[in-house]
């Protein structure tokens, strides 16, 4: 039986016999590629986010070589290219400000070049959503290679987790329970190998999201970055993308509504980061899947917590891998998931996970005896968050989940830093800390400052948690009774902007309520006396971002980037 072979997209460049073909091939040949590479072989882009400024992705040049081997073996033509890399720890004011910019770089780089398929090399937090968003908007066959987590941090006989122990040690230092010398030593003990944060922070959450969406090979999320099996995975990803091009398996075939529902439920079971919400909404927007904030609560909040990883639990990603990894979680959740959803290897989740075996039930709990019942992200609403706000119950203090307290307001991050440790600050542990102007437009970029460190004087008293509310985000490695992503944000006149010191705020997570106990008339009066904060910058990308970024309940993508343009480029360059 003869097979109808689909024309490769790259033939529009390399298949030409005229002047254009000469130009497209000739300059490429300066890299030493033989003639036959340009004819009939799927051209595979290796989209690399390597950068020494993104330490979590600093091993990607080595991994790219393994991908390249796999592509060659399968008969493809690998071409590696760089895109903007987003390092979470170094970028100011926040890497999130640049997620949408990087996604544009990815989208346009893929579309503009003679690529038939692409491997997306993701690791540090924002490198995952930005690459997926960009690739989804082009919709050529794509597969993700997550870079893998660091080995467990080790400090004086104890396992310590990226981020999570930074917050803990910082509190201990402030409270005088840790010396500055110990604090300095802990730095090198925490980050002792290549890889991303090894807690269930945003990077690990994103790697699990990619696997549960079906966009990487099964088991790919948890393998430590420096484990040789990560290189094997890279090699297999290289082989697989060539087959995906031949079978024309595109992101749109995998990123269905069912896949997004699976990701939400898996995220609940692993105690994933709240940042997951914003990124998943943005990715859904690119592929045209209807998804809203309420879906996260409706689908995920009743799912039990199965994974005992920091910040919600005790262990780290290395332990997760040795215990069986994400296939075990997916298998445990089979009654809740769309197990017939397609994944990049051409098989379903059911087929991929049928042999999954748990090797440590202290790390991965059984669904019949979970670590915590109903642990998924909760969405609270009320006059303080008309479009919603989120809380991660598994990382919160149960006793604070229903709380009424007096607001202590910080107008912006500078105000917070200036006053939080002032001994004269009128605050006690029953108060609610409120931080304004840290949303998508207000900061700009919605930084991870929502888990405000408590005032020194309360830490000295041994207080470890308080209700905190903001329109910002929280690091996935952080914890506490923290209400995040308040929408509409204060900078555009959401009611958060009108909270004053002494107002009473009611939080009732069980009933999904967040209420500012101030009358509508008073709020209107305050609104009349309010004016939009001055922009921090008024030119370049930041200006474009502030003008076009959507609110957090919509995923904080730019309004003009929602949707996709496909892979066609109607005009030639010469
Ligand atoms: Fe890169 Fe945490 S800082 S993953």
Q: What is the pLDDT of residues 13-29, one digit of tens each?
A: 999 999 999 999 999 99
Cα separation of 496 and 509, whole Å?
A: 18
DSSP state of 6: P
Tell me the CATH number at 389. 3.50.30.80
Mutate to test the pocket of ligand 1, among 58, 60, 91, 124 (most ligand atoms within 8 A of CB): 124
Res 3: pLDDT: 44
Q: Which atom of ligand 1 is nearest to the CA of 55?
A: 1
- 360 within some domain: no
327 has a pLDDT exceeding 80: yes
Note whether 387 and 349 are same-domain residues. Answer: no
Supply the mean pLDDT for the chain. Answer: 96
- 468 within some domain: yes
Phi then psi dihedrals of residue 141, to 5 deg: -50, 130
- 24 within some domain: no
Note whether 203 and 90 are same-domain residues. Answer: yes
393 close to 383: Cβ distance less than 8 angstroms: no
Q: Domain boundary residue among 320, 353, 386? A: 353
Note whether 341 and 401 are same-domain residues. Answer: no
Ligand 1 close to Cβ of residue 86 (< 6 A): no
Element holding 117 (H helix, E strand): strand 117-122
Note whether 399 and 349 are same-domain residues. Answer: no
Task: Answer yes or no: pTM beyond 0.85.
Answer: yes
- 331 within some domain: yes
- 263 within some domain: yes
Q: Which of 116, 97, 95, 119 is nearest to 106 (CA)?
A: 119
164 close to 331: Cβ distance less than 8 angstroms: no
Note whether 426 and 526 are same-domain residues. Answer: yes
Cis peptide bond prior to 296, omega within 30° of 0: no
Per-residue pLDDT band at 537 (split at 50, 70, 90): confident
Note whether 413 and 319 are same-domain residues. Answer: no
Tell me the CATH number at 267. 3.40.50.2300
pLDDT digits (tens, 9 = 90+) for 227-272: 999 999 999 999 999 999 999 999 999 999 999 999 999 999 999 9
Note whether 423 and 275 are same-domain residues. Answer: no
431 close to 516: Cβ distance less than 8 angstroms: no
Ligand 1 close to Cβ of residue 553 (< 6 A): no
- 136 within some domain: yes
Mutate to test the pocket of ligand 1, among 53, 60, 88 (most ligand atoms within 8 A of CB): 88
The number of folded domains in the chain is 2
4 has a pLDDT exceeding 70: no
Note whether 141 and 290 are same-domain residues. Answer: yes
Per-residue pLDDT band at 6 (split at 50, 70, 90): confident
Only one residue has tokens 């990123």, namely 255
Q: Report CA(326)–ligand 1 centroid distance (Å).
A: 20
Note whether 398 and 502 are same-domain residues. Answer: yes
Domain ranges, residue 231: 11-17+32-151+193-353
Note whether 349 and 392 are same-domain residues. Answer: no
Q: What is the dihedral of CA 485, 491, 493, 497, to 10 degrees?
A: 80
Note whether 326 and 382 are same-domain residues. Answer: no
- 370 within some domain: no
Note whether 416 and 503 are same-domain residues. Answer: yes
Res 2: pLDDT: 40
Query: Whose Cα sits closest to atom 2 in ligand 1?
Result: 197
């Amino acid at each position: 039986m003869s097979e109808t072979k689909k024309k490769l997209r790259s033939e529009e460049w390399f298949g030409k016999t005229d002047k254009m073909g000469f130009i497209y091939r000739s300059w490429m040949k300066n890299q030493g590629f033989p003639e036959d590479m340009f004819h009939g072989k799927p051209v595979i882009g290796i989209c690399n986010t390597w950068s020494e400024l993104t330490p979590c992705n600093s091993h990607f040049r080595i991994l790219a070589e393994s991908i390249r081997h796999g592509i060659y073996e399968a008969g493809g033509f690998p071409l590696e290219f760089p895109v903007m890399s987003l390092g979470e720890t170094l970028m100011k004011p926040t890497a999130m400000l640049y997620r949408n910019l990087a996604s544009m770089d990815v989208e346009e780089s893929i579309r503009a070049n003679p690529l038939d398929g692409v491997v997306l090399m993701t690791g540090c937090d924002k490198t995952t959503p930005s690459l997926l968003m960009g690739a989804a908007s082009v919709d050529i066959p794509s597969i993700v290679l997550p870079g893998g987590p660091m080995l467990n941090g080790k400090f004086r006989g104890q396992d310590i987790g990226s981020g999570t122990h930074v917050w803990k040690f910082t509190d201990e230092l402030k409270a005088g329970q840790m010396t500055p010398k110990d604090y300095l030593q802990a730095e090198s003990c925490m980050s002792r190998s290549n890889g991303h944060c090894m807690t269930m922070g945003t990077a690990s959450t994103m790697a699990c999201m990619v696997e549960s969406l079906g966009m990487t090979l099964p088991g790919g999320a948890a393998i430590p970055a420096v484990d040789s099996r990560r290189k094997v995975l890279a090699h297999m990803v290289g082989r697989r993308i060539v087959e995906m091009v031949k079978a024309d398996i595109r992101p749109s075939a995998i990123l269905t509504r069912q896949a997004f529902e699976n990701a939400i439920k898996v995220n609940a079971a692993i105690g994933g980061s709240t940042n997951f919400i914003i990124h998943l909404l943005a990715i859904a927007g690119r592929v045209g899947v209807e998804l809203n904030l309420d879906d996260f609560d409706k689908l995920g909040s009743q799912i039990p917590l199965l994974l005992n990883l920091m910040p919600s639990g005790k262990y780290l990603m290395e332990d997760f891998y040795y215990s069986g990894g994400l296939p075990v979680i997916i298998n445990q959740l089979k009654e809740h998931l769309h197990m017939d959803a397609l994944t990049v290897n051409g098989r379903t989740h059911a087929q991929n996970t049928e042999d999954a075996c748990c090797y440590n039930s202290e790390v991965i709990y059984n669904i019949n005896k979970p670590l915590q019942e109903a642990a998924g992200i909760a969405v609270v609403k009320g006059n303080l968050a008309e479009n919603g706000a989120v809380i991660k119950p598994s990382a919160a203090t149960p006793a604070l989940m229903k709380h009424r307290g007096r607001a202590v307001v910080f107008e912006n991050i500078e105000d917070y830093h200036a006053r939080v440790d002032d001994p004269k600050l009128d605050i006690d542990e029953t108060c609610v800390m409120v931080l304004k102007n840290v949303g998508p437009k207000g900061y700009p970029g919605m930084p991870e400052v929502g888990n405000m460190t408590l005032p020194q004087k309360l830490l000295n008293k041994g207080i470890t948690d308080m209700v905190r509310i903001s329109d910002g985000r929280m690091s996935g490695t952080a914890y506490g009774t923290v209400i995040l992503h308040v929408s509409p944000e204060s900078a555009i006149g959401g009611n958060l902007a009108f909270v004053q010191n002494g107002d009473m705020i009611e939080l009732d997570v069980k009933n999904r309520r967040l209420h500012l106990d101030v009358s509508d008339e008073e709020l209107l009066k305050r609104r009349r006396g309010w004016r939009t904060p001055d922009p921090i910058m008024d030119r370049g990308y930041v200006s474009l971002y502030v003008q076009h970024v959507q609110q957090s309940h919509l995923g904080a993508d730019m309004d003009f980037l929602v949707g996709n343009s496909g892979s066609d480029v109607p005009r030639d360059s010469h």
